[in-house]
Chains A and B, each alone.
Chain A
Amino acid sequence: MPFPLYLCVHLRDFAAQALVCLNHELHFSAIVVLGGDPPLERVFAMNQRARQLGLATGMSRAQAESFPVVLLRRDHAKEEAAFAELIRCTEEFSPRIESIASPQEETCGATLVLDVSGSKRLFGNAQQIATSVQQSIKATGYEASVAIAHNAYAAVLAARGIEGVTAIAQGCEAETLAPLPLTVLELNDAQAETFAAWGILTLKQLAALPTKSLVARLGQIGFYLQAQARGEYSHLLVPTEQPDDAALCESMELDHPVEMLEPLLFLLSQMLEQVLQRAAERALAIAWVETSLVLDAASHAVHSEHRRIVRPALPERDRLTLLKLIQLDLEMHPPEAAVIALRIEAHPARPQRAQQGLFAAQAPEAGRLEILLARLRKLVGDGRVGAPELLDSHAPEAFRVTNFKIEHALSPRPVNTQQESHPSAMRMVRPPKAIAVELRGETPMAMHYEGTRLMLQTGSGPWRTSGAWWTHPAWSREEWDVVLKEEPQRCLRLAHDPAASCWYVIGIYD
């Protein structure tokens, strides 16, 4: 049986490379990538030029700004796209790829291991394979270190520690790895501290330690680390598979800008068919779909991309239902310009299965109910369909509309004895009706409504509330409860906005 052959691709400063790759102007600049949320940003990654200037990861933005460097914000989307591109690029050489370090793991490098055993006839000898891979990656705009060895971990450590292409011959692993610093190993803090205390700085020094004594001190991990340092660690390559919840994407570029919704829906239908088929192959349904419409920049669009998300209450497998939901949503929120490309990203989930009781009341089918709600939403507007939920705030009308939830156990609402003694109810006037008010002192005396002057008999108030003074705009309101003199003597709730000097009727007491 031939010896297995492994190739490792390591992209140092991957976060920086992902940003610079498509921006040729930056290729010759010192680049620093900042992570964290503003205003607290720290240096997350940088390119070699920046490193030569003395920058280091962990520096604050203020510190980094004191160097002549270009500061860029970290972009996860670009990193993930670059990583996908990297995998696509390496898939040409082997289907068996393991991701050792990826952008999701919050490391500033990216490392892939490829099983290239038996591919000599296709790509040449080890050195040639490695060179081909590096060139292929370079063609996409990335700088990678590539190492190839009969031991997977020797390839990983060499790629991490040696720039360019390294081909390690059978039996030369230890010799090649010897000068590399210990930082190429994945050490935890305690291990790093122990080795630092021991003065072990290179793989050679680690490899030279007596194994039994090392294992007696560090346990099995000592053995593994030393085996790695000696290039003898046997690594079982586990090819990376797409996880269940990985998004299913379809995209399409259009020959001409399209302004009508109908042809777009036709295309979207086809794309949905594709993703639903792929989801069905994995026995999954679609939890939510993000539709991205790339807009024609020439037609003065404000945004270059129009993104909408449709999220049915339950994971859905029916194309027509999803398409109808997307249609209703796009009708409510049409793009501002003609569309030149489409992309859908469907996020799968386990399909919902429920056993209806034999005597349970017939409920509407979930998909149809969803469409009904979407239609209602289209009619009355977003945030106006669902169940109201009170908010913890003194602000008037402090509520939001949330999705309907099925209450499993209906708990009786506590009854306030005070309310029982005052069985009056009030109808809120939405939207409030603007009125003019005549005042005596600060008390409303008469109001003008729709051309009629209505005298006010009695009034209580003002009831004042104000808040959110730390934001702009802050709110404040004065309310009055007044009784009209004219028959029928209706009791109204008036509101006054002192900032705008406007009066409104906001409620009618029954």
Chain B
Amino acid sequence: MYAELHARSAFSFLEGASLPELLMSRCAQLNMPAMALLDRNGLYGAPRFHIAAQRAGMRAHIGAEIAVRDAGERMRPPQWLPHQIPAEPVRFALLAETQAGYQNLCRLITRYKLREAQKAEGAALLADVAEFAEGLVCLTGGNEGPLAAALTRGGYDEALREVECLVHIFGQGNVYVELQRHFDREQEYRNQAAVRIAGKLHLPLLATNGVSYATPYEREVLDVLTTIRHHCTLETAGRLLSPNAERYLRSPREMRQLFRDLPEAIDNTLELSARLTYEMSDLGYRFPDYPVPEGDSMQSFLEKRTEEGIRNRYLPKHDDRLFALAHKQAQRELALIIKLGLAGYFLIVWDIVQFCCRNDILVQGRGSAANSVVCYALGITAVDPVGMDLLFERFLSEERGEWPDIDLDLPSGDQRERAIQYVYQRYGELGAAMTANVITYRGRSAAREAGKALGFDAETLNRLTKLVSRWEWKEKDDSLGRNFHEAGFDIQHRRIAKYVELCQRMQDLPRHLGQHSGGMVICGDKLNAVVPIEPASMPGRTVIQWDKEDCADMKLIKVDLLGLGMMAVLKECLDVVPAHYGEPLDLAQLPPNDPPTYRAIQTADTVGMFQVESRAQMAALPRNYPTCFYDLVVQVAIIRPGPIVGNMMNPYMKRRQGKEKVDYYHPLLEPVLKRTLGIPLFQEQLIRMAMIVANFTGGEAEELRRAVGMRRSMARMKDLDGKLRRGMSANGIAPAVQDQIIQSISSFALYGFPESHAASFALIAYASAYLKCNYLAAFTAALLNNQPMGFYSPATIVKDAQRHGLRVKPVDVLHSDWRCTLEPEPCSAHRFVLRLGLCYARGLRQDAAIPLIAARELHAFTSIQDLALRVPELRKSDLALLAKIGALNSLGEVAHRRDALWQVEYAGRTVGPLLEELPEQNSESSPLRQMTIEERLVADFSGTGVTVGRHPMAFHRTQLRQMGILAASELASLPHGWAVRIAGCVIARQRPGTAKGFVFLSIEDETGIANAIITPAVYEQFKQVVVYEKFLLIEGELQNQENVISVKAREIRPLEISKAAVRSHDFH
């Protein structure tokens, strides 16, 4: 037998070609009892390797190749031989023998990674290695190791000294002289020297294969990755590439045959494997305790805070029954929380929420946390789980044996960063870090990098990568091959065929480590002893080497501090509304059933509203006709891939409209499914269904939900399926009904929403709708200030606000702040007009705008020359931009935009200080003619992305009418089935994965938004027009059913309306 103890995975980033799971599964196929993973400078792949080993019933040894700066350079070919191999430090191959060894390895990597000022490979010093050597076993390594380097550098004597040095650092019993045989003459020469050194120093020999990929076939991928790493092509890489394909995972028989002259080297692999007792099952991770006042325990402190919270939350509701229920539920939850030892966790999340409250940062928990009344009481969530009868087991259960997941939504931007920095401060640099996000090769990146490796030039690459489809929907034959074939490439050509093949083989391989959007891991002891930490690209942030899935697998607790654009909008409204309108605004006390708000939602007048603004939502809203908060919860959840794929959406709508009888799979399920009219929509319902029909416990049912949701847990799913059927049979449920129930469970569980999560989002959706309907100016300003977010571009938001009666004023250097603001206008219906901020002048730097505002506050600018002189930060191009968009029109002596442009050329000229204040001699009025309407539109869209004037379509309405083109607002009054013509600028193009290749277009004119549906056949016919044209004329059949209006396109033509660069949000 043999165990492979030196293997690199693709997590050695561009130095390994196989994922850890693949290595482990190959190892299992070869009947190897154990394997060790030693990735370069990190433990990036260790959790996946460990989990794969657990599943395969194998042993996974963990280690890493550690670069050591002062141990010399790694072996390179002699100088006289042409090569491009760069100088790199040697790497020590270290294996964790014990938990202490593992912790030392993590500390060691963290030490030198954090020593770097920014994200970099980094290298340890010998002193670091010596400090953290305990519990580690050192191998002398292969080509990259210190022994090979010393042999090349100074021959046998130098190598002997080097190995003696390793023995001195790691101890006599902890150094193994490693032998690798890749059928290479020089390597064999080094092996002979290594055998002599081992004999002289009485060190054990150890055979490994220095594995870089699972099978020889993957050598090609490794070569491509090598070229990416060294920024060259396969043709020019030369000796950087592997000399042969021998670094694959060999079978024990092959290895024994290869080392038949040194059998002890093979035997020692098993002996060392037996010595390496540490496996990653115990990381020594502990969640931090929350410091409580003297006399309190964490439990008692949590109980007190919960009690307070229950009173604060429920007493104002004046509902004794609800209060009693909440109290009882809190007791039940607290008992479980305490039993599971999670009191500290809740208190720490509460502490973050408290920090946000103290610092006026809006915060709200999302996800399954909203199922917990304790979370509600602690102010973590805003949804009343008792009032809404939400299922606690979805959040926490005893059987599940894992930590609950609490996600906090924060306003994106600075406020979220403050919360993150608070966690860093509170738990220290080595106590908290962001989780990683492993960036993998996907269609485009793989196409680009493989193309570079094959030596395609930059322009070809751009074209090739553009071919990779971006639509969410993929046609059956929408493969890379088809894309290239369509673009005129001969995919039968060997080079192109190889390229397509390489692109496919690179899919999902790790490319580099990024940062998760908000997941933070916090540790009771030192986090750097649990997982290596390294600097993130963003200043002030550190990141662990594992992603969120790895953290969950390794049972590290993560608190997600997520940035949500709409939270920033709500926060801005909370500040702006009281300040301008003089009315208090409390999101917790919004009127629950505001009629204008529901009317807007029911009529799908929802541009800018959270979660309910998309085209699909707009198409569903008039049918579902939400009348209460719970309807909104359903609405948020129903337009999701899960219910759509599971064919739940239409039955629900029909039942809601009374067109279909409300029916249940079984009478037992009526209480669970009653609220959703017999259709299971939420994950909680799945859990409850399993509990009721098959007598599952809460934990078992939750396990079922997770098993259904995971593609790889087929075996577990099979067990649970059997159990489910047995349970249902015991309850006397007929086999046909059983099939129905199982089908309904499996069809939506993959994508379904937790009800609690939908409720949290519905709260924000309602708040956004309420604000839009009652404080349109403030809401629109906040929306514009927090772009990019949501479904629509600023231009559409502005036009929508204008259609609702809000006046929007253009950017003006005399009135605009950096952000969009409100200006009082008492006679207006909305009491305020919205002033676009200078941030909307595309390309204007904030560094120039701030001095401009400061100078203006001293006294107003009198002319363009005055502005240019007093704000030297403004470059001539800035002034030209401001002139072009009309932002200088209110300055004295400026007649129109072109006049301003004329003056700007003079004011912005480069002259010495003597002449700069000299007014223009013989200045006549501008000889330039005023911009035409079309020119103004083009300038507006290119300079700001929006126009506050009339919609481009409005200028051509008469002509459009003559062409028989209807306005968007006129469609509602026409009967279903009529042939119509509509036209407008495209504001959104979609080809959802769930829509069988249909394309949905939203086109806008001055009266509103019209939707067009394009069948796959029509799309193929008019593909170029649909994808590239900005203004379209669409002919087709009107579909006007249940207040949902769309045009089923038959013919699509480009429309020459304007050259304005209107933008659409595409490919959602």
Residues of A within 8 A of B (CB): 36-37, 39-40, 60-62, 65-66, 194, 197-200, 208-210, 212-213, 216-219, 390-394, 413-414, 416-418, 421, 460-467, 469-472, 476, 478
Contact = CB atoms under 8 A, between A and B. Distances in A.
A394 B898 contact: no
Contacts of B189: 418
Contacts of A467: 241, 243
B79 interface: yes
Interface stretch (B97-105, B404-412, B486-494, B777-785): B486-494
A390 B488 contact: no
B82 A60 contact: no
A464 B244 contact: yes
Given A213-B920, A413-B80, A416-B78, A392 B234 contact: no
Interface string B227-249: 00000001000110101111000
Contacts of A390: 80-82
Contact of A466 (B78, B84, B245, B489): B245
B155 A417 contact: yes
Interface in B843-884: 880, 884
A216 B901 contact: no
B448 to A, nearest CB: 14
Interface in B211-257: 219-220, 223, 234, 238-239, 241, 243-246
Interface stretch (B291-299, B554-562, B923-931, B966-974): B923-931
Contacts of A469: 219-220, 223
Given A39-B488, A216-B906, A217-B906, 18 more contacts: A39-B487, A40-B457, A40-B459, A60-B463, A198-B898, A199-B931, A200-B928, A217-B905, A390-B81, A391-B238, A392-B238, A393-B239, A394-B238, A394-B244, A463-B183, A464-B183, A466-B243, A470-B220
B172 interface: no
Interface string B903-940: 00110010000000000111110011101000100000
Contacts of B512: none
A465 B244 contact: yes
A212 B909 contact: no
Contact of B494 (A62, A218, A465, A472): A472
B721 interface: no
Among B184, B246, B459, B884, residue most surrounded by chain A Cβ atoms (within 10 Å): B459
Q: What is the interface residue range for chain B against chain A?
A: 35 or more
19 contacts: A39-B488, A39-B489, A40-B457, A60-B463, A198-B901, A199-B929, A199-B935, A213-B924, A216-B920, A391-B238, A414-B79, A417-B154, A417-B155, A418-B155, A418-B189, A464-B184, A467-B241, A469-B223, A470-B220
B246 A37 contact: no
B238 to A, nearest CB: 3
Contact of A470 (B182, B234, B901, B935): B234
A322 B489 CA distance: 46
A14 B149 CA distance: 62
Interface string B179-192: 00011110011000
Enumerate the 5 nearest inter-chain pairs by beta-carbon distance, A residue then B residue, closest first.
Answer: A392-B238, A217-B905, A464-B183, A392-B82, A394-B243
B743 to A, nearest CB: 45
A65 B487 CA distance: 11
A212 B921 contact: yes
A4 B558 CA distance: 85
B337 interface: no
Contact of A217 (B457, B495, B909): B909
A490 to B, nearest CB: 19
Nearest to B240: A392
Given A414-B78, A469-B220, A213 B906 contact: yes
B83 interface: yes
A39 B460 contact: yes
Contacts of B219: 469
A465 B460 CA distance: 32
A194 B243 CA distance: 58
A210 B489 contact: no
B275 interface: no
Nearest to A464: B183
Given A37-B457, A391-B238, A393-B239, A210 B924 contact: yes
Contacts of B239: 392-394
A414 B489 CA distance: 49
Contacts of A417: 154-155
Interface in B788-811: none
B762 interface: no
B884 A197 contact: yes
Nearest to B246: A464
Contacts of A463: 183-185
A304 to B, nearest CB: 27
B377 to A, nearest CB: 61
A463 B188 CA distance: 10
Nearest to A392: B238
Contacts of A471: 495
Greatest chain A CB density within 10 A among B183, B457, B922 is at B183
Given A39-B489, A40-B460, A470-B498, A208 B183 contact: no
A198 B928 contact: yes
Given A392-B82, A465-B244, A472-B494, A209 B906 contact: no
Given A198-B902, A465-B244, A209 B927 contact: yes
Nearest to A478: B183
B82 A391 contact: yes
B454 interface: yes
Given A198-B902, A469-B220, A40 B243 contact: no
Contacts of B906: 213, 216-217
Contacts of A60: 463
Contacts of A418: 155, 189
A471 B220 CA distance: 12
Interface in B494-523: 494-495, 498
A394 B927 contact: no
A461 B189 CA distance: 12
A394 B924 contact: no
B909 A216 contact: yes
Nearest to A42: B459
Contacts of A65: 488
A218 to B, nearest CB: 7
Contacts of B487: 39, 62
A43 to B, nearest CB: 14
Contacts of A39: 460, 463, 487-489
A413 B79 CA distance: 9
A384 B463 CA distance: 42
Given A216-B920, A393-B238, A470 B454 contact: yes
A62 B488 CA distance: 7
A105 B915 CA distance: 40
Contact of A392 (B84, B880, B909): B84
A197 B898 CA distance: 7
Interface string B246-270: 1000000000000000000000000
B84 to A, nearest CB: 7
Contacts of B494: 472
Contacts of A470: 220, 234, 454, 495, 498
B912 to A, nearest CB: 14
A466 B244 contact: yes
B922 to A, nearest CB: 7
A472 B901 CA distance: 61
Contacts of B923: 213
A36 B901 CA distance: 38
Nearest to B219: A469
Nearest to A418: B155
Contacts of B457: 37, 40
A1 to B, nearest CB: 36
Given A40-B457, A217-B906, A464-B183, A392 B241 contact: no
Interface in B66-92: 78-84
Interface in B438-487: 454, 457, 459-460, 463, 487
